[in-house]
Amino acid sequence: METKKTFSNLGLSETTLAAINTKGFEEPTAIQAITIPVMLRNDTNIIAQAQTGTGKTAAFGLPLIEMINPEAKFVQALILVPTRELAIQVSEEINSLKGSKQIITIPIYGGQSIDQQLRRLKRGVHIVVGSPGRIIDHLKRKTLKLGKIAHLILDEADEMLNMGFIEDMEEIFKHTNPDKRTLLFSATIPARIKALAHKYMEGYELLTAGKEPLTTNLTEQIYFEVKARDKFEALCRIIDIEEDFYGLVFCRTKRDVDTVAAHLVDRGYDAEPIHGDISQAQRERTLDNFRKQKCHVLIATDVAARGIDVENLTHVINYSLPQDPESYVHRIGRTGRAGNEGTAITFITPSEYKQLMFIQRVAGSDIKKSQVPQVKDIIKIKKKKIYEDLATILEEEIDTEYYVWAKTLLADKSPKEIIAAMLCYCFEDVLNPGAYGEIKEVAARAKEVDQQGKTRLFVALGKKDKMTARKIVDLIISRVPIKAKNISDIQIMDKFSFLTVPFTKAEQIVVSFKEKGSRPLVTHVNKPKGGKKK
């Protein structure tokens, strides 16, 4: 019989094991168990195939922390990721795993102040986590030097290829130490990944974790698109429309946790908060109350929720959108357990739709859009519950004193009047529609123009024309005065591409690419209405 793997027998130091214990990790995942020992040997390149949500960040982060020299004030490792959200998440995760080691890790991505990044790089950094585009910006400025790195890690490599970063990745390879170790993590290993490995990774060990379902089919996954100010009202409606709500609500920050919990308590819900600033004794009391269902709503941050193992949850609610697919998988995995059905609900604002679609694609989930419960439906369900409770009471023996009282009340009024008055007296607050605030419906999503005044353009160039996201941005900037950060959501297909730009720049871009007698190179996907009539 195979001995069960633990973190202590993977070759990690006592300092790192202490940090793991503080995080609340009990045993390594499959990809961690097979990757950590091989990476610690430091004698081969690695291709590791594992799904999102299986602990890949710790799989490379833990051994990387072991091998970094804090005394050497230069970049020793570069971690490439496809999105800014993942750059932030990976950086935070590594920082949370380093324990007492004086290792400096920073995320570098587009959209963040480059001056701020320059200042941090000048102070000395050991690990850089970045998206390809911004890394190349720094290489061109000569503000990031990779000539001494010992490790290059490509996280979500297949996703980077799908997003058109292949040439950016190859450009970055050219600036790195030829004697480095390269580690490539990918959910799939398509032909392009193999070609990349053959070209830049001379000799590698292939590690594959057994494929397991990331999300249970017992968990219904839905999302509500609401404005940020309406999230709390939507949460209250969800709790009220369920007969026996018992759920975990995730917020991004400790302040959000405290605010949501306090507002729920003010409205009469049995809710409690849990986050990093809460003492261990209070944490244990809160979890004990939650497990015993003395508290039915637990509001938590991702970090505080680690180690929480509670059965029979009916709901997991993402009050704040998770930063990456792995966090999403970890969160919703807490419901739909042990054969019980559960529901995972995610709140998104209109601007977060694209990030949710990225999470859905990478995590392999089917997240369906739904509507926030209507007040009239909540009231109807509450009335049904009151009727059922009254029917149960009528089947039991009722104290004779209540019959005497009922007779007195009926002396002057009809049964109908008395019952109506009693219902009003007992349930006026519970059945009052005015207790709920208004939730304004989010405007229907328009692909061509969004709420921030952006429009979708079609470009008659694609992968067969050797186009990449970077090349398209450079092409447009060469014709029209527009900042690269204002060109977003680029999708490169085989023969064409799509991109999003501010509406004020769209027509200028289209006109700049018009040539007489030729098919337009750039056009609107659907030209927005409201222009002047010809």
Do both 367 and 390 map to the same domain? Answer: no
How far apart are alpha carbons 37 and 10 in whole angstroms? 6
Do both 365 and 389 map to the same domain? Answer: no
> Residue 366: CB partners within 8 Å, gap ≥ 6?
221, 360
Count Cα atoms within 13 angstroms, Cβ side, for 115. 0
Do both 60 and 16 map to the same domain? Answer: yes
Could you tell me the residue range of the domain that residue 343 belongs to?
219-372
Round the CA-based radius of gyration of the chain to a whole number and report it: 28
pLDDT the model gives residue 96: 87
pLDDT the model gives residue 144: 94
DSSP 342: E
The answer to whether the beta carbons of residues 242 and 315 sit under 8 Å apart is: yes
The answer to whether the beta carbons of residues 40 and 66 sit under 8 Å apart is: yes
- Least Cα distance to 463 among 472, 453, 452 occurs for 472
Do both 269 and 382 map to the same domain? Answer: no
Assigned domain for 529 exists: no
Do both 231 and 326 map to the same domain? Answer: yes
In which residue ranges of the chain is pLDDT below 70? 1-4, 51-53, 210-218, 303-304, 306-309, 336-340, 443-453, 515-519, 525-534
What angle do helix axes 325-332 and 353-363 make, rounded to 10 degrees? 70
Indicate the pairing of strand 77-80 with strand 151-154.
Answer: parallel
Last residue of a domain, one of 155, 176, 208: 208
> How many structural domains compose the chain?
4
- How many other β-carbons are positioned within 10 Å of the β-carbon of residue 59? 27
Do both 114 and 260 map to the same domain? Answer: no
H or E stretch at 506: helix 503-512
Do both 366 and 382 map to the same domain? Answer: no
Do both 356 and 415 map to the same domain? Answer: no
Do both 362 and 414 map to the same domain? Answer: no
pTM: 0.52
The answer to whether the beta carbons of residues 204 and 46 sit under 8 Å apart is: yes
Quick one: three-class SS letters along 368-393?
A: EECCCCCHHHHHHHHHHHHHHHHHHH
The answer to whether the beta carbons of residues 367 and 356 sit under 8 Å apart is: yes
Assigned domain for 458 exists: yes
pLDDT the model gives residue 263: 92
Assigned domain for 531 exists: no
Distance of CA 13 to the CA centre of its chain: 31
Count Cα atoms within 13 angstroms, Cβ side, for 201. 22
